[in-house]
Amino acid sequence: MILHELLGYDTLRIIWWLLMGIVLIGFALTDGFDLGAGMLLPFAGRTDLERRVVINSVGPVWEGNQVWLILGGGAIFAAWPQLYAVSFSGFYLAMFVILTAIILRPVAFKFRSKREDPRWRTRWDWVLFYCGLVPSLICGVAIGNAIQGVPFRLEPDMQIHYEGSFFGLLNPFALLCGLVSVAMLVMHGAAWLVFKTEGAVQARAGKYGTIAALATVALYALAGVLLLLYVTGYRVTSTVDPLGPSNPLIKTATAHAGAWFGNYSAHPWTLIAPVLGFAGALLATVALLGRRGGLALLGSALGIAGIILSVGASMFPFILPSSLDPHASLIVWDSSSSHLTLFIMLVTTCIFLPIVLAYTGWVYKVLWGKVDSDAIRDESGHAY
């Protein structure tokens, strides 16, 4: 109880805002290379054996990597219930499309090599491509819509009214953010393949990964320019009590062009995030050209972390702004669970997250090394 009293409500809200960002980065860094490898599968592998090399580079770990996705959904549900309610209802159809990919991916992994028919295997290879492309694209589109504001409003009793549509989510800026997401995850998947494979697969992965890394830099820069010049941001115009109740309607907020760059002016140290995004992608470019897998993975990981962090740094304290009624926007200080709930969740996280990280590290240590095509040829090796 002493610790509960020491950790104030305002502190816990910041901690859980940071943890939400960490979970997003963790998902992008782990499951991200799975998705990227899936998008590269039809191109990095030309023969059936080469494609099996690509699949088996991620086959033993992809299921464990999806723990971050489950963790993220659970954390949002428990720590930010209003965010969960608005986003999971407003983006329902988009999330259903992602769900089809999540369902199809294990089926494709398991069924792909059940028959020798080349056409059968090729179809499943393109299913894996779909299962990598769709979540990557739609997650980026969702972030792009969150940056622009989502068309929802709240009644005085906190009833949510979402007035958007699925195709309304597919606006130009959101699609650009989707392309940034696709490019950076292809870059990350290519770095993983350069790290885990050899020969022709490694060479092709390095080639396509270099293109993806350069595209990440270009698209990220373009998104930044559009964000500064054309995309409307949001500002809180009233005094907000960090210890106040979770009621978004007790504040006032307005839309302002270029408002998302205000935090960089007020707190110059936050520029570390976009600089890291550019620097990491450029480091990955150089490493991929030289087929230095470990350095490429480090560069792509830093680039992805920087890009995600730059979104949080730009939008703080907003979590999900409302384009329909800016006063109803969800911010860090008015959309969280109770003080006690956040504290209990933090204690639980401090206990179980190190266990998950330790187990994950052990798994990667056991599976360390290159994927051997000779072992894949041996059907007794239990390879995909």
Number of domains comprising the chain: 1
- Point out the least confidently predicted range of 181-190, 323-332, 369-378: 369-378
**Distance (Å, whole) CA 327 – CA 116:** 59
Indicate whether 384 belongs to any domain: no
Phi, psi (degrees; rounded to nearest 5) at 321: -75, 155
What average pLDDT does this structure show over 133-151?
93
pLDDT score for 91: 83
Residues 209-265 pLDDT 10s: 999 999 999 999 999 999 988 888 899 998 888 888 889 999 999 988 888 998 888
Phi, psi (degrees; rounded to nearest 5) at 281: -65, -40
**Distance (Å, whole) CA 41 – CA 53:** 10
Domain with 318 in it: 2-378
Question: Does the pLDDT value for residue 381 go beyond 60?
Answer: no
- Point out the least confidently predicted range of 34-43, 59-68, 105-114, 349-358: 59-68
* Helix 199-229 × helix 272-289 angle, to 10°: 150
Residue 361 CB partners (closer than 8 Å, separation 6+): none
Q: How confident is the model at residue 301 (pLDDT cuts 50, 70, 90)?
A: very high
Question: Does the pLDDT value for residue 1 go beyond 60?
Answer: no
Q: How confident is the model at residue 342 (pLDDT cuts 50, 70, 90)?
A: very high
Residues 24-71 pLDDT 10s: 999 999 889 999 999 999 999 889 888 999 998 888 888 888 888 888
Question: Does the pLDDT value for residue 380 go beyond 60?
Answer: no
Q: Residue 317, preceding bond cis, omega within 30 degrees?
A: yes
Spacing of C-alpha 261 from chain mean position: 22
Indicate whether 124 belongs to any domain: yes
pLDDT score for 174: 94
Contact predicate 189/300, CB 8 Å: no
Indicate whether 100 belongs to any domain: yes
**Distance (Å, whole) CA 234 – CA 263:** 11
Q: Which two structure tokens, joined as six digits, stand for 99?
A: 């769900």
**Distance (Å, whole) CA 27 – CA 25:** 5
CB neighbours (10 Å) of residue 12?
A: 22
Q: Among 28, 125, 119, 33, which Cα is nearest to 72's?
A: 28
Question: Does the pLDDT value for residue 284 go beyond 90?
Answer: yes
Q: Which two structure tokens, joined as six digits, stand for 165?
A: 């549509």
Domain of 142, CATH number, reads: 1.20.1630.10
Bigger pLDDT: 378 or 292?
292
Q: What is the 3-state secondary structure (H, E, C) of the chain?
A: CHHHHHCCHHHHHHHHHHHHHHHHHHHHHHHHHHHHHHHHHHHHCCCHHHHHHHHHHHCCCHHHHCHHHHHHHHHHHHHCHHHHHHHHHHCHHHHHHHHHHHHHHHHHHHHCCCCCCHHHHHHHHHHHHHHHHHHHHHHHHHHHHHHHCECEEECCCCCEEECCCCHHHCCHHHHHHHHHHHHHHHHHHHHHHHHHCCHHHHHHHHHHHHHHHHHHHHHHHHHHHHHHHCCEEEEECCCCCCCCCCCHHHCCEEEEECHHHHHHHHCHHHHHHHHHHHHHHHHHHHHHHCCCHHHHHHHHHHHHHHHHHHHHHHHCCEEECECCCHHHCEECCCCCCCHHHHHHHHHHHHHHHHHHHHHHHHHHHHCCCCCCHHHHHCHHHCCC
Question: Does the pLDDT value for residue 145 go beyond 90?
Answer: yes
pLDDT score for 194: 95
Indicate whether 91 belongs to any domain: yes
